[in-house]
Each structure stands twice: as C-alpha cells, then as structure tokens.
Amino acid sequence: MALSLSLTQKQQLKLSPQMLQSFELMALPLAELQQKITSEIETNPALEIPSSRETSFEAFAEKNQDSEKYNDSYSDSSSYGSDRGGYDTEASDRLQSFMENALSDEETLQEHLLSQLGCEALSELEYEVGMILITNLDANGFHVQEPLGLLNNEQKALLEPMLDRLHRFDPPGIGVKNWRESLILQAQVKGMEGEEL
C-alpha cells in the first residue's frame, strides 16, 4: 500500500459588487454611460442631478474673495506682538527648540553597556551575571552595591570573569568602586604598567 502526498496551490480573486459595477461602468461607451446614469436617476429617488452642473465664474470669484479675507485677517492677527500679550514667534521658536531637545533621549551608560553585552558570545548564566553587574552601576560607572552581595552561589563563580569582560567594554574604567580604581584600569587599558601607574 503506497501513500502519497500532493500539494496544490490555487489563487483566486474575489471582487466586491461595487468593484464589479465600477468595472462595468468603465467598460461602457460614453453614450451608453449617459443613458445608464439617466435611467439610474429615474429609478432611484435618492439620486438627483444638481440644478447647475458647472460652477459659475461669479461663484468661484466669491469663494476666492472669502478666502482672501480669511488670509488677511490671519496675517493681521499673527503680527500681534508679544508686548501686548499676543503670539510671539521668537518665544514659540524657543519653546519648539526646547521641546525638540528635551525629547531627544540620549543613551544612558547602562543602555550602552547592555548593548555591548548583547554582542558578546555568552551563556545564559554569564549574560545574567553581566546584566546584574551593569544594572548595579551608577552614571559614572561605579558599583552602587558590592557586586558579591547581589549574586547567588552559582553566579558568584562567574563574578571575576564577567568583571574582567566588563572592564574591556567601552568606555574604559567602568565596573569599579571609585575614581582611583577607574583611573588605574584606564591606564592598564592604555598599556601602562608598574611604575608608570
């Protein structure tokens, strides 16, 4: 007994009634289209033909004058100075500049370090320890709490290797207790040793 599988693919296009009707109307010659429109207007009481199909030049000129009046009144109100409590473009520009600069969110040190951590080839446990160490850093890159107290027994074995890895991250001199250790670490990264320190 032989088993076989077969796979067929079928593509189907379904048109809505409105689309079918629009295709039918587009295919009609102009004379038949006018006749179809007239018959639809006669049979459907909801449809009606406006009394004047074309907009007269006078009506267009009136609308244009109304638009010009509106624009003139707007330009008069926009020149109303700040000394009288009105709109001040300079103040508006300063506010806009402040808002644009306030909304631009710079990357924090922790975000920068976490992005570097994500690029490293780490086990899940190493990544977890790295996350704990990075989130324990303040804005200057110093430990807020003693790192050993933040880790469980399994994680404590990875503390030194992960600190060494963290010390190689950019910027140099992070993951330490104070400025002195930070400067020593930065000097070591630059290749200084022994008496040069």
pLDDT tens, residue by residue, 129-183:
999 999 998 988 888 999 888 889 898 899 999 998 998 888 888 888 888 888 8
C-beta atoms surrounding 173 within 10 Å = 19
pLDDT category, 82, cuts 50, 70, 90? very low
Question: What single letter denotes the amino acid at residue 39?
Answer: S
Percent of the chain with pLDDT over 70: 74
Q: What is the pLDDT of residue 132?
A: 92
Question: What single letter denotes the amino acid at residue 18?
Answer: Q
Residues in the chain: 197
- In terms of Cα–Cα distance, which of 185, 123, 178 is closest to 155? 123
In this structure, of 2-16, 83-97, 115-129, the range with the lowest mean pLDDT score is 83-97
Question: Which run of H or E residues covers position 163?
Answer: helix 159-167
157-172 residue pLDDT tens: 999 999 989 988 888 8
Q: What share of the chain is helix, strand, coil (3-state, %, to 5)?
A: 60, 0, 40
Q: What is the pLDDT of residue 180?
A: 86
Query: Is residue 106 within 8 Å of residue 112, measured between CB atoms?
Result: no
Average pLDDT score over the chain? 79
Q: What is the pLDDT of residue 94?
A: 76
- In terms of Cα–Cα distance, which of 123, 125, 111 is closest to 169? 111
29-64 residue pLDDT tens: 888 888 988 888 888 888 777 665 555 556 666 666
Q: What is the pLDDT of residue 87?
A: 60
pLDDT category, 196, cuts 50, 70, 90? low
